[in-house]
Chain A
Amino acid sequence: MSALLTSRNVADVLSGVTNGVIYSLVALSLVLVWRSTRILNFAQGAMAMMATYIGFALLAPSTNYWVSMAVAIVAGMAIGGATERVIVRALYGKPEINPVVAMVGFLLVLESVAAAIWSTSSRGLPTPFSMVDWQLNHKPVAMSPFALYEIITAVAVMTVIAVLFEYTKLGLRLRAAAIAPEVSRLLGVRVGRMLTLGWMLSSGVGAITAVLVASNYFTGLTPTAMDGVFAFGFIAAAIGGLDSPVGALVSGVAMGVILQFVGDYLNSNAIILVALGMLVVSLMVRPNGVFTTARQRRV
């Protein structure tokens, strides 16, 4: 048993799942915005990065990790809400290219502002758990307390989002506002508020993701810390289907595992190529995403 757990393939799977849940969270945050407003938020990673800076850089270094994380989540939600109200609302009904350009521009603005305030140097964040892998018979298992914390956090966030959307009145209103905004208005749903809330939820999820990413001492916190993760999360969302939270979860984890094997058995430089290849093939075979059915598409 211990030989199996410490084998190269199992190590790749465990590391892949750890990376994959992060991609899933990024993908989920993109799906939340896409489902409600039909906008691809290219600034998602930068907004999450900014929230993390607010949570960890503005507070005293001695501040408790969990307090900083809570501040980052609140800041992320505030940034998301403000973005929807100030930038996105003016883009509804405009040509599809407008929000794309606007959000790419917003991404660059946020990264520039962060660099101007906090510099481009990597900033180490405190970690609540050890990042040293557990050992079995003096061999590493490719799973550390921190990695387990990442997986548990990701699963908890996804569970909360799923329960919110499927089993609560608020979730019913959020879904209705996204699927049928005019009908929702005719049923008394305050659609504008629901759209803002969708962006806040998405940015809250993004902030949690960015804290997890930046807490990893291999990454640290920089103005561009989320760019790479965002790219993989975006590919996972496109493969899974931008309308499908389940697709975001499954394709994120699957991509993490596949790319871990690619990096281990081929070459770490091939990872991005393989990821882009997966995106191209999936768009050719299932343009709406592997997990999107006709029923899930917006009416």
Chain B
Amino acid sequence: MIRVDDVSVAYGAVNALRGVSFEAATGAITAVLGANGAGKTTLLRTISGLVAPRSGSVWMNEARLTGQRTEDIVRAGVGHVPEGRGVIAEFTVEENLRLGAMITSRPLREALAQQYEWFPVLGERRKQAAATLSGGERQMLAMARALIAGPSVLLLDEPSLGLAPLVTAQLMRTVADLCASTGLTVILVEQNARSALRIAERAVVLYLGRIVADDEAAAVGRDDQLRQYYLGMVE
């Protein structure tokens, strides 16, 4: 379980998050929704320690994550797939995965085999430079690279960005399947609210750094005001 407790973040004079509090339940997908500039990416970066909050704290179960270095937070079991995927284009697919696997004690061959089973296209392209992959394949590689470390929490930042609707749908199905089969806790940041709400159990809606809704995903999806004013979901 991830608990965000009254977190505020500022970039100079600009407040990116203002007193944000919510919980992401173990083994469930929590969607974090909102328009550009709502603070979604900052929220994930704060959880993984890339950004230090001005006040408040982030907890994983009983362990305080705030104040720890990113490397230690990742080693404690928080995987983060950043916006733009963060695939190292100069490395091959397998080198990217080997890098991700360095903090796991599992045998490398076994860990790689599992990722190739979940994402077969990566197995086919294992010797290719990541720069040659399509957008969808890069997203799969970024997810596989985070998953190969065996995290208990996965932070996904805009995984559908720049992907075709069919690829997005496939990706979301994969996230839902992984969550169901492994008990992974997922915090999914998305602008594509419709796709995210389809697989999430819970949804948090951010607007200008504040939480304006925190409810079951189905309830958020049914709320006309939220849909219209905060999520841009026009029928």
By a beta-carbon cutoff of 8 Å, the part of chain A in contact with chain B is: 169, 172-173, 175-176, 179-180, 182-191, 295-296, 299
Q: Is B71 an interface residue (CB 8 A)?
A: yes
Contacts of A189 in B (CB 8 A): 71, 99, 102
- Residues of B within 8 Å of A295, CB to CB, are 89-90, 129, 131
Chain B residues touching A, range? 20 to 34
Shortest CB–CB separation between residue B144 and chain A, in angstroms?
A: 12
Contact B86 A182 (CB under 8 A): yes
- Check: B50 CB closer than 8 A to any chain A CB: yes
Give Cα A188–Cα B48 distance, bound, in whole angstroms: 11
Residue of A at shortest CB range from B155?
A186
Could you tell me if B86 and A191 are in contact, using CB atoms closer than 8 angstroms? no
Q: Chain A's nearest CB lies how many Å from the CB of B142?
A: 9
Whether the Cβ atoms of A185 and B131 lie closer than 8 Å is no
B71 touches A188 (CB 8 A): yes
Query: Which one of B50, B95, B99 has the highest number of Cβ atoms from chain A below 10 Å of its Cβ?
Result: B99
Determine whether the beta carbon of B102 is less than 8 Å from that of A183: no
Query: Would you call A187 and B74 a contact (CB within 8 A)?
Result: yes
Residues of B within 8 A of A179 (CB): 88, 90-91
Contact mask B58-85 → A, CB, 8 Å, 1/0? Answer: 0000000000011100110001101000
Given the known interface contacts A176-B91, A295-B89, the answer about A187 and B50 at a Cβ–Cβ threshold of 8 Å is no
Once the chains bind, are A183 and B71 in contact (CB under 8 Å)? no
Flag if B50 contacts A185 (CB, 8 Å): yes
Q: In the complex, what residues of A have CB within 8 A of residue B90's CB? A: 175, 179, 295-296, 299
Residues of A within 8 A of B103 (CB): 187-188
- The residue that A172 contacts in the complex, of B89, B99, B149, with Cβ under 8 A, is B99
Q: For A175, A179, A183, A191, which residue has the most chain B Cβ atoms within 10 angstroms?
A: A183
- Taking the complex as formed, is B138 at the interface, i.e. its CB lies under 8 A from any CB of chain A? no
Q: Do A180 and B88 touch across chains, with their CB atoms under 8 A apart?
A: yes
Are A186 and B86 interface neighbours, CB within 8 A?
yes
B100 on the A face (CB < 8 A): yes
Give chain A nearest CB distance to B227 CB in angstroms. 32
Supplied contacts A190-B71, A296-B90, 18 more A-B pairs, CB within 8 Å: A172-B98, A173-B99, A179-B88, A183-B82, A184-B99, A186-B50, A186-B70, A186-B79, A186-B80, A186-B82, A186-B86, A186-B146, A188-B102, A188-B103, A188-B149, A189-B99, A189-B102, A295-B129
